[in-house]
Structures are given as structure tokens and as C-alpha cells.
């Protein structure tokens, strides 16, 4: 069952939410995981949980909007585990506002964390994946990367960019044996979902109840999104590249 046995995976945003769930799942599936995040305390705890469970983990504190931090994270991963096979770009933030209520600084920050980080980290990782004969990159996009949403202009724009960047990278790097795909989650119970409620001035209870209004009648769990990431990172999806996998309980339908 160890679908990632002997693989090395680097996961940005790995200290919480979907990134953390992905790191824990990958470790159970046999991968050595490099958890990259700006949150030192939460990142160290996630790595400790992997090690306590018998897995291999490294935590690297890094700001993924900075080229030098991305380079250092990849180098530390390779130094610790001998190479790199999978990159999961999961770092992300949200700003719930229309363009009139979004400052230039907020726009730039959303774009930097949600899009620029994928460019910077992938640029460092691709030569390492190539050196191993290929690998997989999985970008965490959003259902709002495929359709618009209310009061989330910067976020929607950023996730739309992630979807099309994924396609472009898949075309560019297929000959190097690198598959590039995106997961588009619907609402899942993560700290970011609860942050949305705060930004909108809504109670968490009411906001989560609204998030559950989809065919399956509930919002998702980070662990469920992680299963989709695992599929795209593993050889089970060996003929899948340049695609978006929607995991949203039927919300898009």
C-alpha cells in the first residue's frame, strides 16, 4: 500500500490545512516529507508527528515568495533525503473582498503567495526532479480557479492563474518526465475556511453551514483533499498531466 515508497516529497504550506494532511498521508504512504512553511511552531509539530509515527520528515522555515528561501528549501530537502521526486505547492491565503475593497498591498500578497510561490519553487524543483528521471508536481488551486466567486477577486484571479500555469508547465516539462496537475478543492474545514468567516464578519457556525450546501450535504475534510493529491503524485496517475481534479462534494456540478 506504500504508493510513495522511497520517494521524497516537498510540501509548501505543510504546517496546516491541506498541506499538513498531505504531508501526514504521504509519510504513511512511504515518502520522506519536507514540510515547508513560515509557521515554525506548527511546522515543527507536523514534522514531529511524522517522525513519531515512524516516518521521515524535515521541517524548513521558508517564505515561499522569496527566491532565496525556495532555493534553500529545495537544497535542504535534497541534502537530507538525497533527491526530490514530488513537489506539492499548497501554500495559499485568501482575501475576501471585491476589487474596490482590496488594497494594492493585499492584491500583491495574494498573488505572491498563491501564484509566484509556485513559479519560484517549481523553478528550483524541476532540475532536481529531472535528475531523478522525472517526477510529479501538484498545485493546489480551487473551484474558484474554474469559476468566479463573490467578494474574492484577488483569490479567484490567483487560482485561475494556478490552473493555467499548471497546464503550461505540463506542456513544457512532459519531455523531462515531469507530470504537472492541479487539485481544485471546494470548501474544506481548514484554518483558511474559518479565516474567510472572520473576514466576512460571519459566525463560523453560519459560514460552515453555508459551505455544506452542496450535493453531498457537507464540507470536506483536508484528509479527503490529500487523497486526491496522493493520486496525482503517485504512479497511479502515470498518464495524467495538465489536468485539474475537482474535489468539492459536487459543488461545481
Active-site annotation, residues: 155
For every residue of the chain, DSSP letters joined together read --TTTT-EEEEETTTSHHHHHHHHHHHHTT-EEEEEES-HHHHHHHHHHHHHTT-EEEEEE--TTSHHHHHHHHHHHHHHHS---EEEE---------GGG--HHHHHHHHIIIIIHHHHHHHHHHHHHHHTT-EEEEEE--GGGTS--TT-HHHHHHHHHHHHHHHHHHHHHGGGTEEEEEEEE--BSSHHHHHHHHHTT--HHHHHHHHT-STTSS-B-HHHHHHHHHHHHSGGGTT--S-EEEESTTS--
Helix axes 191-199, 204-211, angle to 10 degrees: 120
Amino acid at each position: 500500500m506504500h504508493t510513495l515508497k522511497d520517494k521524497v516529497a516537498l510540501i509548501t504550506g505543510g504546517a496546516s490545512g491541506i498541506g499538513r494532511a498531505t504531508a501526514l498521508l504521504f509519510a504513511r504512504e512511504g515518502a520522506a516529507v519536507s514540510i515547508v512553511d513560515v509557521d515554525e511552531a506548527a511546522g515543527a509539530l507536523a514534522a514531529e508527528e511524522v517522525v513519531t509515527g515512524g516516518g521521515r520528515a524535515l521541517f524548513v522555515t521558508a517564505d515561499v515568495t522569496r527566491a532565496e528561501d525556495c532555493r534553500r528549501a529545495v537544497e535542504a530537502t535534497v541534502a537530507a533525503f538525497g533527491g526530490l521526486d514530488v513537489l506539492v505547492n499548497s501554500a495559499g491565503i485568501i482575501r475576501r473582498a471585491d476589487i474596490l475593497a482590496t488594497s494594492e498591498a493585499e492584491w500583491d500578497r495574494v498573488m505572491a503567495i498563491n501564484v509566484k510561490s509556485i513559479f519560484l519553487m517549481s523553478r528550483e524543483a524541476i532540475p532536481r526532479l529531472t535528475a531523478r528521471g522525472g517526477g510529479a508536481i501538484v498545485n493546489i488551486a480551487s473551484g474558484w480557479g474554474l469559476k468566479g466567486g463573490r467578494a474574492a477577486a484577488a483569490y479567484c484571479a490567483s487560482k485561475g492563474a494556478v490552473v493555467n500555469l499548471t497546464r503550461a508547465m505540463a506542456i513544457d516539462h512532459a519531455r523531462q518526465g515531469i507530470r504537472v496537475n492541479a487539485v481544485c478543492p471546494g470548501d474544506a474545514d481548514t484554518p483558511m475556511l474559518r479565516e474567510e468567516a472572520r473576514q466576512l464578519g460571519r459566525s463560523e457556525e453560519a459560514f460552515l453551514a453555508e459551505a455544506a450546501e452542496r450535493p453531498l450535504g457537507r464540507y470536506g475534510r483536508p484528509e479527503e483533499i490529500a487523497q486526491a493529491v496522493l493520486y496525482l503524485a503517485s504512479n497511479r496517475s502515470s498518464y495524467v498531466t495538465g489536468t485539474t481534479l475537482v474535489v468539492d462534494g459536487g459543488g461545481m456540478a
